[in-house]
Amino acid sequence: MPNVRRPIAALTAALAMTVTGGAVMNPASAGSLEIEKKATATGYGGAVSTVDPEASAAAIEVLREGGNAADAAVAAAATLGVTEPYSAGIGGGGYFVFYDAETGDVSTIDGRETAPAAMPNDAFIDPVTKEPYPFTPELVTSGVSVGVPGTPATWERALERWGTLDLGEALEPAIDVASRGFLVDETFRQQTLENKVRFEAFTSTSSLFLPGGDAPAVGSVFRNPDIAETYGLLANEGTDGFYSGPLAEEIVAAVQNPPKTATTTLPIPAGHMTTADLAAYAALDQDPTHVEYRGLDVYGMAPSSSGGTTVGEALNILETFGPSEMRKPNRSDPGALHPYLEASALAFADRGKYVGDPAFVDVPTEELTDPVFGKERACLIDPLKAATKPVPAGDVSSYDGACPASPAALADEKDTENISTTNLTVADKWGNVVEYTLTIEQTGGSGIVVPGRGFILNNELTDFSTVYSETDPNRIQPGKRPRSSMSPTIILKDGEPFLALGSPGGSTIITTVLQTILNRVDLGMNISEAIAAPRASQRNTAKISAEQEFIDAYAAVLEPLGHVFTKAGDSFTSLPEIGAATAIEFRPDGRMVAAAEPVRRGGGSAMVVKERR
């Protein structure tokens, strides 16, 4: 891989444009913009999988022009900030995992948002009623829900550590897409309509995403010259142009005094962010979590994310089950699904008790990912009966792998993490790999577009527990990063990349990644089949959230064991889906198999640089 950073390239003509506002062009203008969408692509020289063909095309363009996986990942992420603005963008944060082919090391960047320094412990309590704000739409649609964004700092740090492009060059494809526009699909229109009441609450948001009072039509071309101009600012000034100066002041103004419309009935509590909070933000270099599973080395994201510890612990639990127990399920045999659901519940119990921001909480990461601890937790799985949920957390201070007596159960943990977020997977011809999950939290984030800047601010602070408790590792504290479930994962086999994968989906991210690994490694599916298979998500709750196809196929054999199912879906969207994974598998013959969702979220986009050598 070349290590010499390229000089700053001239920005595209789009940067020189005078851009003043969003625009939607009619379908007659859209024909030349359509990009073929494929869920699986196999080939050589580099690969990418995202939820969006424009983002995948941006990454492939960078790879073909000699950029590496880090360069291409930033280009794809920036493009998703244009085409998937309700799931990702510079108003949010995320976690970046990188495999360095030259050193064989896996490293990560924690780009999670932080709570403002003035954030009070009772920030989510209505001062009038003295009760917590209703989660939706009141709390999520607010300035108080906005954390200090980490995405711009993540991009810059990733390029500094591993890239060959500067930030301006990596932003060029996204600037082009924002300027010329992209085709509106059914998912974009539906997500806009589902957020219509929230978007109508803000003058800046409604003018950009509800032109004429309605969501953009399917097949029309949506342009966002405001975000093109904002990206141009970052290209010229770096992240200093975001974390200080006029843009920082405008972000703070939108948080402290949200641009409400005169007609909204939503309370829209104001936030506490200051320009000092933005100036103090830093993306953190961090070691990954690591467990071994079936001879594979599985690397994930350490706290402040709970993804690496929870996926890792569940895998350690499942490692204790042999091939006869991890058999392929069918309509008369639950096979591996019963251990999978039980292991997930046990790992989620420990997630709830122990995991938070390690800068504020003593998180026992080493213990949670210890195979001996996993072996002891596996003792609680009855092969013929599901445990009563919620199951209790384990004791990380005392374990030896032997089966202990069962302690009393804990109360259910309320799950308020939303289904949104986006994920991308990139590999280059040198063998470098990126798994990157980024988000603005809820579909539509806080609903607040920074006026004239073209991006939505996150509502990530709602990932904190609503009610403050000294014993809760995820309690609100100033400067703290809320616990996340994002689980970007890279798996090595004999020291070489075998599989990289991740997903959006709030707390179901963990189970989506875990189930996809189970499908691929234990059940013999290829990676495309592993992603497409129906999903169920057990997060230590009395009822298991599951897609209808899963319920139809397996409920009859799992319910007699005591598993109880409810159809997937939440109060934010009408989609009865769990996750929207992306992955790349690396074949022994040098081929890369990029795989995306064939159906969920309208289907993803997988591409390779070359289909043949």
For residue 576, the one-letter residue type is P
pTM for this predicted structure: 0.94
d(CA 417, CA 304): 14
Residues assigned a catalytic role: 421
pLDDT in tens, 102-120: 999 999 999 999 999 999 9
d(CA 465, CA 474): 6
pLDDT in tens, 515-569: 999 999 999 999 999 999 999 999 999 999 999 999 999 999 999 999 999 999 7
Q: How many CA atoms lie within 13 A of 463 on its CB side?
A: 35
Q: Which tokens in the block code for residue 602? A: 């309208």
User: Class of the 286-417+485-610 domain?
Assistant: mainly alpha
Give residue 405's pLDDT: 62
Give residue 1's pLDDT: 47
Give residue 36's pLDDT: 86
**Strand, coil or helix: what is 545?**
strand
Give residue 345's pLDDT: 98
Q: Which tokens in the block code for residue 137? A: 């739409």
Give residue 433's pLDDT: 98
Give residue 23's pLDDT: 59
Query: Can you list the residues of the chain whose pLDDT is less than 70?
Result: 1-32, 405-419, 570-575
pLDDT in tens, 303-330: 999 999 999 999 999 999 999 999 999 9
Return the HEC string of 217-236: CCCCEEECHHHHHHHHHHHH
Concatenating the DSSP letter of every residue in 460-527 gives GGGGS-SS--TT-TT---TTPPPPB----EEEEETTEEEEEEE--STTHHHHHHHHHHIIIIIS---H
Give residue 421's pLDDT: 84
DSSP letter at 1 equals -
Q: How many CA atoms lie within 13 A of 101 on its CB side?
A: 16
Pairing of strands 93-100, 433-439: antiparallel
Give residue 576's pLDDT: 86
Concatenating the DSSP letter of every residue in 84-131 gives STTT-STTSEEEEEEEETTTTEEEEEEE--B--TT--TTTTB-TTT-S
Handedness of CA 342, 579, 501, 114 (dihedral sign): negative
d(CA 595, CA 516): 12
Give residue 419's pLDDT: 54
